[in-house]
Amino acid sequence: MQIFSMYPTWPAVVLAALQLMAATYVVEGIGVNWGTQASQNLHPATIVQMLKDNKIDKIKLFDSDPWTVKHFAGTGIEVMLGIPNNQLKDLAQDYDKATDWVKQNLTKHIYDGGVNIRYVAVGNEPLLKSYNGSNLASIFPALRNIQKAINEEGLGDKVKATSPQNADVYDSSSNKPSDGQFRSDIRDLMYQIVQFLQINDAPFTVNIYPFLSLYLNPNFPVEFAFFDGGAKPVNDNGTIYSNMLDANIDTLVWALRKTSYPDVKIIIGEIGWPTDGDVNANVQMAKKFYDGFFKKMATKQGTPIYPKEIEYYLFSLTDENQKSVAPGDFERHWGLFKYDGKPKFPMDFSGQGHDKMPVAAKNVTYLESKWCVFNPDVKNMDRVPTNMDYACSMGDCTTLNHGSSCNKLDETSKISYAFNMYFQMNNQDVESCNFDGLAKVVDVNASADHCLFPIAIESDGGKIGFKIGFSVFGGLLALLLLF
């Protein structure tokens, strides 16, 4: 009682404390990746509003386009800048280039009321096995040069360079986390990187995808990808794992323990579940994944052997219809939101199970309500395959294949779908709805059940040169193909 009497307005104090907890609660953990490999991107001002409306307060970018970054000034949103892999060689070989990069892309944004930048992601999964070692020589010197340049600008206490890795930089001979170690072909390099991160108090960033485990291995126990405890647990010498995420993070923890620097902080640079483009990529499974994930996050418990709260960046904010589909069609469907910033399914970022639709992007302008479809008057179908191939290779047909949302369309609707995507991705340019006379523009919504024929959004205007380049290049190719 005595203690309480120190606080005359005790209930109010408790209330305030609770409110504070509630307020900081979402704020601490949740970040989101925003990639812009799309034919049209939302305006950065729209993105800022979307993040605020949904109480997401960290964003991870894949480049450092100054026009984009400056929109985050004064918002309080924490930004992770990105350096694409194709810049690593220059930054590794020439320290002056690293200094320039830091001055132009970092220091410029740091002022009172400027951008809250905490991390610079040097490269993106640079040591991915499928890159055949092309970044092997440059990743460490580039990381070192960037952090050195940051330190010389006097920003080293606040801004840390890190290098997001795919989880394929480590493995386990037995599928048990305790056998985890860095991949043998890059082990020495990983030791150097880990040592450097530790010395600079910078985090080890790793991207982890339970979906990919399932995609790549048909025998993967499905429930182990989720968090509902439905899978047979893995017993690692007394430590029990009921989900792939914990097991994967702890494999990294064990790999780190086998270096001389076991205490490097871990952050998850990408995690998520796609909603289209594969039999396991759909709204139901994505919702199941995120529901379990947010609930787990809310416990702030880390993993069985890494009990600290972990910082996560969801992948991804919006769908990107120009991502490479080399890994699979699902690549273009990682968004929590569709291409136009509309939410896909209800969720609760706070993990309290209060299902509701996330707040959609505001101030989005669409192009006219018109679609490019197969012209039903056409009788001779000889030229369909060539034109379909062209539309799909330059546009986006990732919803048409087995297991995807538009797979059930009849053949002519599939042709229409391919033509329309190409047309919309080229900003409804009339010349992009010709296809040897097989196509025509209509103003009747061509969408079918579960298969959206989208209307493109107006481009953000930030990288207009690229957009024009794309459509001119597309047009030229079309000419070459036709004649």
Ligand X SMILES: *[C@@H]1O[C@H](CO)[C@@H](O)[C@H](O)[C@H]1NC(C)=O
205/163 Cα distance (integer angstroms): 6
Give me the least distance between CB of 193 and ligand X, in Å please: 21
Q: Give 49 or 432: the residue with its C-beta nearer to ligand X.
A: 49
Q: Give 195 or 447: the residue with its C-beta nearer to ligand X.
A: 447
CA dihedral (183, 311, 331, 216) in degrees, to 10, reads 40
Residues between 59 and 78 with contacts to ligand X, criterion CB under 6 A: 63-65
Q: Is 270 a catalytic residue?
A: yes
Give me the least distance between CB of 224 and ligand X, in Å please: 22
Q: Give 364 or 378: the residue with its C-beta nearer to ligand X.
A: 364
Q: Kindly state the number of chain residues that form the binding site for ligand X, as judged by CB under 6 A.
A: 23
CA dihedral (185, 187, 189, 193) in degrees, to 10, reads 140
Give me the least distance between CB of 79 and ligand X, in Å please: 13
Q: Is 125 a catalytic residue?
A: yes
AA letter at 437: G
DSSP 237: T
Q: Which of 59, 33, 42 is nearest to 340 (CA)?
A: 42
411-425 vs 384-394: helix crossing angle, rounded to 10: 40
Give me the least distance between CB of 127 and ligand X, in Å please: 12
153 binds ligand X (CB under 6 A): no
370 binds ligand X (CB under 6 A): no
Q: Residue 351 contacts by C-beta under 8 Å, 6 or more apart in sequence?
A: 294, 295, 296, 297, 298, 299
H or E, element range at 393:
helix 384-394
Give me the least distance between CB of 62 and ligand X, in Å please: 8
Residues between 207 and 246 with contacts to ligand X, criterion CB under 6 A: 237-238
Task: With H, G, I as helix, E, B as strand and everything else as coil, classify residue 116.
Answer: strand
324-363 mask for ligand X (x: CB under 6 A)? ---------------------------------------x
Q: Residue 359 contacts by C-beta under 8 Å, 6 or more apart in sequence?
A: 50, 53, 54, 343
Q: Give 65 or 223: the residue with its C-beta nearer to ligand X.
A: 65
191/221 Cα distance (integer angstroms): 32
Give me the least distance between CB of 293 and ligand X, in Å please: 27
Q: Which of 300, 393, 388, 297 is nearest to 348 (CA)?
A: 297
Give me the least distance between CB of 133 and ligand X, in Å please: 9
Asked if the peptide bond before residue 138 counts as cis, ω within 30 degrees of 0, the response is no
Give me the least distance between CB of 130 and ligand X, in Å please: 6
Confirm if 313 and 269 have CB atoms less than 8 A apart.
yes
4 binds ligand X (CB under 6 A): no
178 binds ligand X (CB under 6 A): yes
Q: Give 151 or 447: the residue with its C-beta nearer to ligand X.
A: 447
Confirm if 61 and 79 have CB atoms less than 8 A apart.
yes
CB atoms within 10 A of CB 18: 10
Residue from 25, 34, 101, 312 binding ligand X (CB under 6 A): 101
DSSP 448: B
Q: Residue 289 contacts by C-beta under 8 Å, 6 or more apart in sequence?
A: 210, 211, 225, 226, 227, 272, 273
Tokens describing residue 264: 């490097």
Residue from 55, 100, 148, 403 binding ligand X (CB under 6 A): 100
Q: Which residue is nearest to ligand X (CB)?
A: 63
Q: Which of 279, 204, 178, 296 is nearest to 245 (CA)?
A: 296
299 binds ligand X (CB under 6 A): no
Phi, psi of 162 (to 5 degrees): -140, 170
40 binds ligand X (CB under 6 A): no
Residue from 7, 67, 131, 473 binding ligand X (CB under 6 A): 131
Q: Of 28, 78, 125, 320, which residue is the catalytic one?
A: 125
Residue from 455, 463, 470, 475 binding ligand X (CB under 6 A): 455
Residue from 137, 155, 279, 452 binding ligand X (CB under 6 A): 452
Residue from 25, 40, 43, 248 binding ligand X (CB under 6 A): 43
168 binds ligand X (CB under 6 A): no
Q: Of 78, 270, 311, 320, which residue is the catalytic one?
A: 270
447 binds ligand X (CB under 6 A): yes
Residue from 2, 369, 379, 380 binding ligand X (CB under 6 A): 369
Residue from 2, 5, 9, 132 binding ligand X (CB under 6 A): 132
Interaction site with ligand X (CB under 6 A): 43, 45, 63-65, 100-101, 104-105, 130-132, 134, 178, 237-238, 363, 365, 369, 445, 447, 452, 455
Active site residues: 125, 270
